[in-house]
Each structure stands twice: as C-alpha cells, then as structure tokens.
Amino acid sequence: MRRLTSVELGALVARGPVAVLVPVGSVEPHGPHLPLGTDTTLGEESANRAARRLTDAGTTTLVAPAIPYGVTDFARGFPGAVGIDASLVTSLVATLARALLAEGFAHVCFVSHHLEPAHDAAVRAGADGHEKGRVSVASPLSRRWGRLLSDEYKSGACHAGRYETSLVLASGDRVAFDIAALPDLDVSLSKGIAGGLSTFLAMGMHDAYTGSPAHATREEGEALYEKHVAMIVAEVSEALASRPES
C-alpha cells in the first residue's frame, strides 16, 4: 500500500472489494541474536505472503504500513525495550481501523506477532466495536491457531527460541549472533505468567530469550509461515463472508 499513489489506491478500491492487512509489532529485545524489530518483521512477512495468497484466490488484498510499537512490559530491564501504553495501542488500532474503512476497504485485519498478553488484549479491544465482518485480528496467541504451531511454541518456551529464530531466518532478516553457541533454556512464558511473574528477568531469561534457537532452520521457518498464512487467510475470508451484505 505504501508504494501506491493516491490515484492508484482510489482506483483500486473503486473497482471492488479490497481487504487490507496491518502488521502490528513491537520494539523489544529478542536475545543476543535477533533484531529489536523481530515482531514487526514477522508480522510484515506473514502479511505479505498472505496478501499474495488472498489476491491469487480472488480477494484483492493490500498490506498497510506496520504499527511498529506495542506493549513491552515483560522486557523491561533490557536495552531496547521501547513500549507504549496499552490504552494507546487500543486507540491507535481503533482509529486506524475506522480510517481504513472510511477509505473504502471492505475489511481490515490486524496481523499481530507480538505475543505479550496485555498487548494482544489491547489490539483486540481496538478491533472490537466495528460493524460485523469489517475488522479482525490474526494472531497465533489465540488457541485456535496456536495449537497448530510447533511443539516449542506450544510449550511457552518460545521467545527468540527455535520458533521465532526459524521465522527470522526464513524472512531473510539479520541474525547477529552465532545461534549454535546459544544454549537451550526451558523457561515457559505461559507458566511464568500464570505464576504471577511479570518480567523476563524474573523468569530467569537473563539473555532475553527462551527455547532452543540453536536448532532453528530456514526450512522450519518456511513451514511455520505456511501456518501463519493459513491463519490470516481464514480470518479474512471468514470475516468477509460474515458481513451482512455478503
């Protein structure tokens, strides 16, 4: 979408139903090896792949510029944990949804790969309250989609581990450290959160990662992106089918 001119966008929307995907990420430490913008990269890569899949299937779909900031409370204490308030995330998502719908888009889907619970809740709150079938959220944090992902992801020990590192490798983004030198760390974020812990440091993640990044591969990342694409395609297709005028 950001490469289109105003005239090109207007003509495209006027020709028929067009969906738009909005990646939602964060600026957050992801171990010594992955970039601070990892969540944004994963959202953009998933959205770009899904937009091509949807368009090829007959639903013209664009990718909007990403929202690159989110709630990053769990990473506090590490350099690069640059977060914004949950209320601002909700307001931004709600305002952007209204603005994109006013532009004539048939559907707006927020693609979120930042899995902090407060962030996910804030995104979903902003996506609520719109006309049926017009706004959705695609996130692997939902049980519907999370249960289809890798064993590491389902264990909760998956921040900058094998799961995310594989996705970064498949995206072609920078990996800044020899991942083979990183030891496995079996710290489940989901169990830590359930136990009342509220930071990576409190959970024992002293290098801002958990899981098994040394075992990551580009091939596993490609397989995971296929699941992410299926998630986004389903969320958009089901929402479009549920609209009163459809």
The domain spans of the chain are: 6-242
Q: What's the mean pLDDT in 35-50?
A: 98
Res. 175: pLDDT tops 70: yes
- Mean pLDDT, the chain, rounded, equals 97
Res. 140: pLDDT tops 80: yes
Tens-digit pLDDT profile for residues 88-122: 999 999 999 999 999 999 999 999 999 999 999 99
Q: What's the mean pLDDT in 154-177?
A: 96
pLDDT value for 31: 98
Q: What's the mean pLDDT in 28-46?
A: 98
Res. 245: pLDDT tops 80: no
Q: What's the mean pLDDT in 162-182?
A: 96
- CATH of region 6-242, choose from 3.30.750.24, 3.30.70.2740, 3.40.50.10310, 3.90.550.10: 3.40.50.10310
pLDDT value for 118: 97
pLDDT value for 95: 98
Q: What's the mean pLDDT in 232-243?
A: 96
pLDDT value for 168: 98
Amino acid in position 148: L
Tens-digit pLDDT profile for residues 74-93: 999 999 999 999 999 999 99
pLDDT value for 112: 97
Tens-digit pLDDT profile for residues 185-203: 999 999 999 999 999 999 9
Q: What's the mean pLDDT in 180-184?
A: 97
pLDDT tier, 223 (very low <50, low <70, confident <90, very high otherwise) = very high
pLDDT value for 244: 86
pLDDT value for 199: 98
Angle at 64 between CA 60 and CA 67, to 5 degrees: 150
pLDDT value for 16: 86
pLDDT value for 246: 59
